[in-house]
Each structure stands twice: as C-alpha cells, then as structure tokens.
C-alpha cells in the first residue's frame, strides 16, 4: 500500500502497549514505535533530541518528565512498568528526545521506543487477536498523504484498496477529522455565526455611523468650498483624505488596545477551557487584516455622504441641516394645536437612515448582553451535580476521578475503610456501588445484536452499499477475536439507590422484592440491541472461567441519568446491567467502585477535613465533596461570565457612543431650527422636553426590538448551545431588561439637556444669524 503511486508520503507506527502505573494513573501512557514521517504527521517530532534508535532509548512528551520530577534534559533516566501480552516488564530508559504537547488536548502520554526493543516485546503477540477487542497492541498504523484533490480523496483511497487487495473493513480506514465537515453540530455553528455576526455588525455600525454623521455635519463646509470652485472629484478627495488621517491614528491605537485586551482575556478563556496559556508572538497578518477591514469600512462609510455633498448645489449645501424633510405631508392640521410629544416623534423619522442606524446599534448591544446574561444565568447547579455526585461526599479510587481512560476494577476501596468513615460524627449513611466486568457468551440475541452492530457501523461509513454487499463484508468479518464472549458492564447497587433506579425506568416494570431476590436485573446501555426486556441473560463476573449466573431482564433504565453512579464510559459493542449489591457481596473479592456519603448539613464542613485525614494513609483512594464540584463549575462559569460581559460592555459601549454621537450632532446641527422655534414662542423648557422625548423614543424603539427580536435570538442561541448540556438549562430572564432600561432612560434624559444648555449659551438672535 505504501508503494502505491497515489501515496505521496507515509509514516509507520506500532502501538506496543499502554501503562497506568506511576505518573500515568491519571493520564495513561501509550508506548509506540514511530518513524520520522509518522512523528511529523502527528505533531510529535522531538523538538529537543531525536527519535530512539538503541533498545534503551526513549522519546516522550515533556509533561511526563515534569510529572516524574525530572528536568527537561536529554540523558535523563526514566523507569517504566508495563505489560505486553500478559508479560510484565520493568525497564529503565534513557531520554533521547522530547517535545511539548498540551495534556488537556491529548489526555494521555506518548512514548516512542526503538523498533529493536519493540520486536522483542511483541514476540509471541498476535495483533489480530487484539484488534477486534480494544487493544490494538502490535497493530501497525500507516498514516499517509494521498495525491489528488480533497474532493477525490475517498475515491483515490478506494482505488488504492482495490489495487492492493486490502479489505477496508478488516484494516480500518480513518480520514482526517478536519476534512469531515458534516460531523459538526450545525446548531452550534449557527449560534456561533450569529454571535460573530452581531459583533461584526456592531463594529461596522459604530464606524459607519460616526463617519456618516461627521461627514454630513461638514456638508455646509463642503458647500462653501464648492462656491470657490472646488469640483466634486476634489471634494471627494478632501473627505477621503480626512478619513485617512483619522485612520492613521485610530487604526494603530485600536489594534494596540485590541492586542492588549487579548493578552488579558485569552489566558482567562483558555483557563476556562482547561488549556495552558502559551504566549505567542504577534501575528502581523492578523494586524494587517484588521487594519484593511477597518480602512475598507471607513472608506465605504465615507463614500455615500461625500458623493451626496459633492452633488448638492452650493446654496443647498450651505443651508443643509442634516435632517430630511418629508415631502409627502408638509402641512398637518389639528384641533388641539401642536403637541411636543408628536413633534418629537416626527423629528426621529425625518432622517430614517440615521434613526435606523442608532436603533440597530443599540439593539445589537442589548441582544448580545441578553445572550451572555441568559447563558450565564442558565447554569443549573442541581443538573450539574446529578451528573457527578448524589450525596455530600463521593469516595473512590483515584482512577475513578480520571476521565482520561475507562475505569477498571481496582479493589482499593475496602469495607473497613468505609466502616471507619461511617463512624465519623455527622455521617448518616453510606451508599455503595459495586462494579465488575461481565463476560456474556455470544449466542442468541447477543450474537444477532453484535452482527447488527457491525452492520450499522458499515452503513454509517458507506451508506451507498447494498444489503448484499454489507452481508458479504459481515461474512468476512472475524468475530473470533472477541473470544466467544461480549463485554458486559455489571453494577451492584445498594438499597439506597433503588429509588433512583425506579425514577429512571423507561421500559418494563420495577418490582423491588423481585429485584432484591437476585434473580432479576435492569438493563442500562445496549448499543447493539443485544438484550431485550424479558430475556434471560447469562454471564460470568471478573473472568470468563468464573461461575456463570443467569438473570431475567425486568426492565430498562436511562443509563445517562445514572452517569454519576457509573464507570464514566460504555463498552462497545456490549451492554450494561444493574444488580442488587447482594450479588456482589457473595463474591470472594468484590470491587467497590464508589461510595456516596450522606451527612448532616451542620457536619459537612468538619467532615471535609476528617475524611481527608482518614484517607491520608490511603494514597490510592480519593474523595470529592458536593462543594468541590459546585466551586469548580462556578469558577468556570465566572470565567465565562468575565469574557462574555467584557464583550458585552464593548458592544454596549459601541451602541451608547453611537447614540451619544447622534444626539449631540443632531442637536448641534439643529441650532438654527431650535432658535427659530424659540423665536415663535417655544420656551426653553419645551425645547428640552422635545429633545428628551426624542431620545426616549430612540431608547423605546431599541428596547422594543430587544424585547421582540432580541429574546427570540437569545432563545435560539442559548438553547442551541446548552442543548444536551450536563450543566445548563435555558432560563428566561427579564433581568437584562431591568438592568438596561433605567440606564438607557437616565442617558436619554440627561444627555439632551446637557447639550441643549451648551448651545443655549448663545442668544436666539446670534443663532438665527448663523443662517445668513
């Protein structure tokens, strides 16, 4: 396959084994071989040193050295304990290379050994026997770059397989996940696109509105220039040159402030995602792109007003007041005279474009604020805790709290230890969950379910295949690697958990007396349809050669709702079942997977310390409290809130600046109009009232958009992001409206009065003469 003409380049690797000993208890170590190309393709080329050549050499990720309290230097001695094919090894290696890899992005350690040592370790190991299980030990992995276009990738791979007579189903073909766009969640993408669009539109509205109003404010000046012979083309150059001068100052300052803000917020965001912050030098292309986009927006914003100013006659330009009169109805009649409120309402829409810009700018800021506030406020403590803990304390083996790999029976949690915990003051009850690996013979419905499991897997990869072609592939599949048994995850629940089992029953019926008799079980996960309610299931616990036990399936429960009482993984293909704890207590050495402690509320704080002291002499046992989980999630939620509300503050500031700029420019440009109204009898109090009402109408319209469109957008965005979340439930809230309304109302009342006082310093006569 590697020599095929369509294969441009390739790399080879073999998985030798995995280890969970020592520093790998929380993040397992994977021992491989790798050539230069494979290391390059998988971003694991040693940045210091090289790949191993001698039998005692090893290359590894740098965090492993940190975990072993060794300096990041070549030549360090590393000791590893592991098994290959059931044979234990305890070897010392010399570090010949290492590289950085983010542990939270790749929750396992990569270790490369030489081919010479690998050949010795794999002697007697048959890779085919491990492949259909979950080991893949000794299996060779080829990573290749295929010639041709991306659209032809799948066809070219099929050509390679046909030419080399390789069975794709037996070998296993995986494409780069980055090429698979169909696997992305469309709803989340749509929500993210919506939020990004709001941010971009808000920034555009700020730049556009400021420059539009600024240019229109200077139309009279441009008209004076036309009276002395300035052409339309020259006037456009003047406007664009002014914009470029402002950009020359504003864009660098904006880029600098944006970069500094990013330095502050990016570490917080990465911390929220549990990713270590690694400072990177500024990318000039990002700065260049930001500058180009800002410059383009400014030039586009200036084009329309400059063109209009250039076309207007000198006389019209001199008398330009930055408000559009409506020719449709010049005279309004009424029996009760002019109303200040009606005048204010009419003034808003004298320039519909300007009004739309201000309302839109305010609305998008309010909408984004509502989205972030609703998302932060949708954090559901009870829902989050249900997925992690069901009491005040959870005691288990250290591996149980590691989500980097599946839990395996550890036998570290003893009844004596739990008895000591039970004797502590304030402890009400301890509810245990037992766990064992079950081995069910592949026969009857289980065999049919296993075949159906493979059938659905084939259809998922190649939906175009016919039933006959699928059947042909299944007939070629070697099921002997399963060893005639399918994996079953078997849980044993104390009586305390019976209510929880009954609450989550989704099929069948639950009879406590029958369940406790030991002749019945409840079915949990069953991905292949291997077990049905009413079936009799036979399996052995903790070994294929152990005593076989048979149970009737009483019902089926929602296994997802019992995640906090599970091993945090599902075995595929396979199934999980729930038995009474009495079935485990009869075993010689049952594994107590976890123990949940229920305590008096007044004793929780003291028990946190006492349990910690009690477990101090048991380094393999750990515990978590309800308070620990709440604090962890609240910390993440607060970090998200910091980022979200910072973003909201920027967007709201954009909207408020637009409103302030529009209001000030509007009032200053209407100095003569206001002076004329005063000259025919309008008092200063009435003038202030009219301007305040105009501002209030602006705010009211923005709030109307916020309440209607804003809440709909918020529901879509938040509900899409939180759907299926284990910690969030959408909650409608009017708090954003209650926060924003008083602030906007205060701004609408104070700003016009301040500006009106400023222009009123000149007498009415002086302001009227400005028209001459």
Find tokens 């917020």 and name the residue.
265
Provide mean pLDDT across the span 469-476.
77
Higher-confidence residue of 753 and 323: namely 753
Find tokens 């989500």 and name the residue.
403
Nearest to 722 by CA among 364, 188, 214: 188
- Does residue 571 form part of some domain? yes
Burial 586-600 (b: 16+ CB within 10 A, else e): eeeebbbbbbbbebe
Q: Residue 78 has what pLDDT?
A: 93
User: With 70 as the cut, is the pLDDT of residue 93 above it?
Assistant: yes
What 3 state SS string does 101-151 have?
A: CCCCCCCCEEEEECHHHHHHHCCCCCHHHHHCCCCCCCCEEEEEEECCCHH
Residue 767 token pair: 């302001």
Instruction: Name the least confident of 376-390, 504-518, 671-685.
Output: 376-390
Q: Choose one of 590, 619, 648: the last residue of a domain.
A: 619
- Does residue 719 form part of some domain? no
Q: Is the peptide bond before 573 cis (omega within 30 degrees of 0)?
A: yes
- Does residue 446 form part of some domain? yes
Write out the DSSP string of 433-461: EEEEEEEEES-THHHHHHHHHHHHHHHHH
In the chain, pLDDT over 90 holds for what percent of residues?
Answer: 14
User: With 80 as the cut, is the pLDDT of residue 250 above it?
Assistant: yes
> If DSSP codes are grouped into helix, strand and coil, which group holds residue 574?
strand
Output the CA–CA distances (angstroms, integers) from residue 455 to 68, 161, 162, 182, 446, in the order listed.
45, 20, 21, 21, 14
Higher-confidence residue of 340 and 272: namely 340
Distance (Å, whole) CA 647 – CA 653: 10
How many domains is the chain partitioned into structurally?
A: 2
Provide mean pLDDT across the span 345-356.
77
Q: Categorize the per-residue pLDDT at 247 as very low, low, confident or very high, splitting at 50, 70 and 90.
A: confident
User: With 90 as the cut, is the pLDDT of residue 234 above it?
Assistant: no
- Does residue 68 form part of some domain? yes
Q: Residue 666 has what pLDDT?
A: 72
Q: Residue 177 has what pLDDT?
A: 56
Q: Residue 366 has what pLDDT?
A: 80
Distance (Å, whole) CA 600 – CA 269: 37
Q: Residue 181 has what pLDDT?
A: 45
In degrees rounded to 5, what are phi and psi of residue 615?
-90, 0
Winning range, highest mean pLDDT, from 58-67, 242-251, 648-657: 58-67
Q: Categorize the per-residue pLDDT at 184 as very low, low, confident or very high, splitting at 50, 70 and 90.
A: very low
Across the chain, mean pLDDT equals 79
User: With 50 as the cut, is the pLDDT of residue 273 above it?
Assistant: no
User: With 80 as the cut, is the pLDDT of residue 97 above it?
Assistant: yes
Instruction: Name the least confident of 185-199, 355-369, 406-420.
Output: 185-199
Q: Residue 334 has what pLDDT?
A: 56
Distance (Å, whole) CA 72 – CA 722: 41
Q: Residue 196 has what pLDDT?
A: 65
Higher-confidence residue of 107 and 604: namely 604
Nearest to 687 by CA among 764, 745, 772, 744: 764
- Which H helix or E strand runs over 77? strand 77-84
- Does residue 44 form part of some domain? yes
Winning range, highest mean pLDDT, from 22-31, 218-227, 593-602, 759-768: 593-602
Residue span of the structural domain in which 436 resides: 411-619
Provide mean pLDDT across the span 255-261.
82
Find tokens 């050549």 and name the residue.
53
- Does residue 217 form part of some domain? no
pLDDT tens digits, 576-601: 999 999 998 888 888 999 999 999 98
Distance (Å, whole) CA 46 – CA 110: 11
Instruction: Name the least confident of 146-155, 262-271, 446-455.
Output: 262-271
Provide mean pLDDT across the span 16-33.
82
Judge whether 44 and 101 are in contact, CB under 8 Å. Answer: yes
Q: Categorize the per-residue pLDDT at 367 as very low, low, confident or very high, splitting at 50, 70 and 90.
A: confident
- Does residue 654 form part of some domain? no
Distance (Å, whole) CA 731 – CA 733: 6
- Does residue 327 form part of some domain? no
Q: Choose one of 183, 207, 239: the last residue of a domain.
A: 183
User: With 50 as the cut, is the pLDDT of residue 274 above it?
Assistant: no
Find tokens 């396992």 and name the residue.
108
Q: Categorize the per-residue pLDDT at 59 as very low, low, confident or very high, splitting at 50, 70 and 90.
A: very high
In the chain, pLDDT over 70 holds for what percent of residues?
Answer: 78
Q: Choose one of 601, 619, 637: the last residue of a domain.
A: 619
Q: Residue 322 has what pLDDT?
A: 52
Distance (Å, whole) CA 510 – CA 520: 10
Nearest to 577 by CA among 633, 507, 520, 499: 520
Distance (Å, whole) CA 232 – CA 310: 5
Q: Residue 132 has what pLDDT?
A: 47
Provide mean pLDDT across the span 3-12.
84
Q: Categorize the per-residue pLDDT at 34 as very low, low, confident or very high, splitting at 50, 70 and 90.
A: very high
Write out the DSSP string of 686-723: HHHHHHHHHHHHHHHHHHHHIIIIIHHHHHHHHHHHHT
């Amino acid at each position: 396959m590697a020599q095929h003409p369509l294969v441009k380049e390739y790399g080879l690797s073999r998985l030798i084994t995995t280890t969970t000993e020592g520093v790998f208890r929380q993040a397992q170590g994977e021992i491989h071989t790798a050539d230069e190309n494979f290391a390059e393709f998988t971003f694991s080329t040693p940045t210091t040193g090289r790949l191993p050549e001698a039998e005692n050499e090893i290359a590894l990720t740098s965090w492993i050295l940190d975990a072993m309290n060794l300096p990041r230097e070549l030549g360090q001695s590393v000791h590893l304990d592991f098994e290959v094919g059931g044979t234990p090894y305890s070897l010392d290696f010399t570090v010949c290379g290492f590289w950085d890899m983010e542990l939270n992005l790749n929750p396992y350690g990569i270790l490369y050994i030489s081919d010479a040592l690998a050949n010795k370790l794999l002697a007697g190991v048959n890779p085919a026997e491990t492949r259909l299980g979950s080991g893949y030990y000794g299996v060779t992995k080829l990573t290749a770059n295929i010639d041709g276009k991306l659209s032809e990738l799948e066809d070219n791979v099929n050509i390679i397989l046909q030419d080399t007579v390789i069975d794709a189903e037996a070998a296993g073909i995986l494409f780069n996940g980055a090429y698979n766009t169909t696997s992305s969640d469309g709803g989340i993408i749509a929500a993210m696109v919506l939020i990004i669009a709001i941010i971009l539109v808000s920034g555009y509205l700020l730049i556009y509105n400021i420059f539009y109003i600024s240019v229109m404010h200077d139309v009279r000046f441009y008209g004076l220039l036309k009276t002395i012979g300035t052409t339309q083309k020259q006037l456009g150059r003047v406007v664009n040159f002014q914009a470029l001068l402002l950009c020359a100052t504003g864009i660098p300052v904006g880029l600098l402030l944006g970069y500094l803000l990013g330095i502050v917020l990016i570490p917080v965001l990465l911390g929220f995602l549990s990713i270590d912050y690694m400072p990177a030098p500024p990318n000039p292309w990002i700065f260049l792109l930001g500058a180009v986009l800002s410059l383009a927006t400014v030039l586009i914003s200036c084009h329309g007003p400059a063109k209009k100013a250039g076309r207007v006659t000198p006389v019209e330009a001199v008398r330009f007041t930055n408000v559009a009169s409506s020719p449709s109805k010049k005279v309004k009649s009424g029996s009760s005279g002019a109303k200040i409120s009606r005048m204010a309402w009419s003034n808003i829409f004298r320039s519909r474009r300007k009004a739309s810009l201000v309302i839109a700018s305010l609305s998008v800021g309010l909408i984004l604020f509502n989205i972030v506030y609703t998302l932060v406020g949708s954090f559901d403590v009870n829902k989050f805790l249900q997925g992690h803990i069901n009491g005040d304390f959870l005691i288990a083996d250290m591996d149980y709290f590691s989500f980097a790999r599946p839990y395996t029976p550890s036998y570290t949690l003893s009844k004596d230890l739990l008895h000591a915990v039970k004797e502590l003051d304030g402890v009400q009850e301890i509810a245990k969950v037992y766990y064992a690996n079950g081995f069910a013979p592949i026969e009857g419905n289980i065999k049919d379910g296993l075949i159906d499991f493979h059938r659905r897997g084939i259809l998922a990869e190649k939906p175009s295949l016919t039933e006959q072609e699928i059947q042909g592939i299944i007939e070629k599949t070697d099921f002997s690697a399963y060893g005639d048994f399918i994996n079953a995850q078997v849980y044993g629940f104390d009586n305390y958990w019976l209510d929880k089992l009954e609450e989550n029953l989704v099929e069948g019926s639950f009879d406590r007396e029958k369940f406790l008799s030991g002749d019945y079980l409840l079915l949990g996960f069953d991905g292949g349809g291997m077990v049905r309610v009413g079936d009799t299931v036979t399996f052995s616990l903790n070994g294929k050669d152990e005593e076989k036990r048979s149970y009737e399936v009483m019902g089926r429960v929602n296994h997802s709702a019992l995640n906090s009482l599970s091993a945090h993984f599902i075995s595929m293909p396979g199934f999980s079942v729930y038995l009474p704890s009495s079935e485990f207590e009869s075993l010689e050495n049952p594994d107590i997977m976890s123990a949940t402690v229920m305590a008096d509320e007044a004793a929780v704080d003291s028990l946190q310390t006492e349990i910690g002291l009690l477990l101090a002499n048991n380094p393999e046992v750990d515990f978590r409290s309800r308070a620990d989980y709440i604090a962890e999630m609240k910390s993440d939620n607060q970090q998200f809130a910091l980022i979200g509300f910072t973003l909201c503050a920027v967007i709201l500031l954009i909207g408020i600046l637009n409103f302030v700029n529009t209001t000030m420019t509007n009032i200053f440009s209407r100095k003569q109009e206001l002076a004329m109204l005063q000259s025919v009898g309008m008092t200063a109090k009435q003038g202030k009232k009219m301007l305040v009402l105009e501002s209030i109408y602006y705010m009211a319209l923005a709030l109307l958009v916020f309440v209607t469109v804003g809440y709909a957008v918020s529901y879509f965005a938040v509900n899409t992001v939180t759907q299926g979340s284990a910690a969030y439930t959408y909650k409608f809230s009017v708090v954003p409206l209650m926060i924003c309304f008083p602030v906007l109302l205060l701004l609408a009342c104070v700003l016009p009065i301040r500006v009106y006082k400023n222009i009123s310093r000149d007498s009415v006569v002086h302001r009227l003469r400005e028209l001459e």
